[in-house]
Amino acid sequence: MRIIKSDLRTNQVIIRAETPTDLYILSTIIVNGDRVIAKTSRRVRRAGTEGRSGDESQRITMIIGIDVEGQIFQESVASNRLRIKGRIFKGPEQHVSIGSYHTINVGLSDTITIFKTEWSRYYLKILEDAENASKKPKIGLIAVDTNDVCIGILDNYQLNVLFQEKSGVSRKHSKAKVRKEQSSTFFGSIIELVQRSLLPETKNILIGGPGFVKERLADYLRNSLPKENLNIVIGSSSSGGNRIGLFELMKSEALDKLAKDFQILVEQRDIDEFLQRISKGTGDIAYGYSHIKQIAETGVIETLLLIDSYLHGTNQAPVSDIQDLLKTIEQTKGKLVVISSQSDSASQLKTFGGMIALLRYALSWEA
């Protein structure tokens, strides 16, 4: 993410999204009631036509501003985009009607101007962290066993699972030579995946899995790939070459040394700490919007974790109430962490109403 301009006197920030993660972050930043301006396309009738279909209309690129009433981040292999819907307040009058609805699609390399009534410290920190995170090296993860391999890439905010494939190695084949050839073919296919998908993004690769297959694969990669700046590390993982193996690698000490300040790892450590405090009954935790709202002004909240859907309003709390809560946490020097509703961490938070808090000390209060 690149912050092109930040002018808090006029409450505007101009941003260019450079990765799919940037688009997701923008989806948490832009809330109902904001104003955005961006380049977009709109189908208009040609002069002198009666609005018939077909060649009687054309799509024109223009700059349009809308008052935000909804947004959704769409992520796919083919394309990633943030769709923002709202009423038009600015645009070429010959092509648009002020007050009519329009949806702006923001994609990679697109620039968008965001206006807020007030840019809180919290939102500015999200943008600052996102810009700094783009400079952090990503890490390739490979979970492997004799039958399967699963490959993903980890950045500051998320784990993106890229491939999961079978090895084709037959345990039952009687000839060791044939099994060795099959293993060589399997490792060769992994090399192709690594060269195509990981090396353009990172030179840091963490490999894990049961048995000695991870060490054999690491040696194979070191002997087959360009050695310049290549950093291959073995991590502890007892699971196989699947998604579970990747998630287990994310808890290994080897990864913690490579990326201990990645937000995705920090938020998981906070969740683990929350669960440990529950099991010990220490009393220095809270969960659920209504309970956390009750105690926020006491200044007891050290860390608040919430699912991103809260930022856009829920049945439990409208956007304005959530904004007030976040301001209170900021003013009392608490840390705020927003978790993607699509992440594995979110499934843990949903058990506790989508919002949890680590407290500075145990607090007796009534529900």
pLDDT tens-digit profile of 283-310? 999 999 999 999 999 999 999 999 988 8
By residue range, what is the domain housing residue 318?
263-359
Question: Looking at the predicted structure, is the pLDDT value of residue 273 above 70?
Answer: yes
| Inside any domain, residue 306 | yes
Q: Which residues pair with 59 in a beta bridge?
A: 43
pLDDT at 179 over 60: no
Residues 120 and 165 in one domain: no
Q: Residue 106's CB: how many other CB atoms inside 10 A?
A: 27
Identify the burial level of 342 via C-beta atoms within 10 angstroms of its C-beta, where 0-12 means exposed, 13-18 middle and 19 or more buried: middle
Domain end residue (candidates: 114, 133, 152): 133
CATH number at residue 45: 2.30.30.870
Whole-structure pTM value: 0.76
**CATH number of the domain to which 226 belongs:** 3.30.420.60
Whether 202 and 308 share a structural domain: no
Q: Choose the final residue of a domain: 235, 259, 283.
A: 259
Does one domain contain both 225 and 302? no
Tell me if 29 sits within 8 A of 114, measured CB to CB.
yes
Cα–Cα distance for residue pair 51/67, rounded to 1 Å: 27
Q: Is residue 64 part of a domain?
A: yes
- Mean pLDDT, range 158-186, rounded to an integer: 68
**Residue 365 is assigned to a structural domain of this protein:** no
Q: Residue 345: give its domain's CATH number.
A: 3.30.1330.30
Q: Is the CB of residue 102 less than 8 Å from the CB of residue 92?
A: no
In a domain, 367, yes or no: no
* 20-47 tens-digit pLDDT: 888 989 998 999 899 999 999 887 776 5
Strand, helix or coil at 289? helix
Q: Within this chain, do residues 127 and 182 fall inside the same structural domain, yes or no? A: no
Q: Which of 53-57, 340-344, 359-363 has the lowest mean pLDDT?
A: 53-57
Domain shared by 267 and 254, yes or no: no
**Residue at 364 is within a domain:** no
Q: In this predicted structure, what is the pLDDT of residue 151?
A: 94
* Exposed / middle / buried, residue 188 (Cβ in 10 Å: 0-12, 13-18, 19+): exposed
Structural domain ending residue among the three candidates 227, 259, 291 = 259
Examine residue 158 and state whether it is found in any structural domain, yes or no: yes
If asked whether residues 60 and 121 sit together in one domain, one would say yes
Check whether residue 8 and residue 117 sit in a common domain.
yes
What was the pLDDT predicted at 295?
94
Q: Write down the mean pLDDT value for the chain.
A: 87
Q: pLDDT for 129-165, tens place per residue?
A: 888 888 888 999 999 998 899 999 998 888 888 888 8
Residue 367 has pLDDT above 50, yes or no: no
Two structure tokens written together for 206: 């963490």
Number of domains in the chain: 3
- What pLDDT is attached to residue 181? 67
**Which pLDDT does position 172 carry in this prediction?**
52
Measured between alpha carbons, how far is 148 from 178 in angstroms, rounded to an integer? Answer: 18
Statement to judge: residues 95 and 29 lie in one domain: yes
Do 312 and 352 sit in the same domain of this protein? yes
In this prediction, residue 261 carries a pLDDT of 82
| Residue 177 and residue 90 share a domain | no
Mean pLDDT (whole number) for 227-231: 83
Q: Which of 52, 110, 46, 118 is nearest to 84 (CA)?
A: 110
Instruction: For residues 321 and 353, state if they share a domain.
Output: yes
Q: With beta carbons less than 8 A apart as the criterion, state whether 73 and 61 touch.
A: no
Clarify whether residues 119 and 234 are in a common domain. no
Q: Quick one: what percent of the chain has pLDDT higher than 90?
A: 45
- Across the range 68-88, mean pLDDT stands at 85
φ, ψ (nearest 5 deg) of residue 242: -145, -175
Helices (H) and strands (E) in the chain, counts: 10, 16
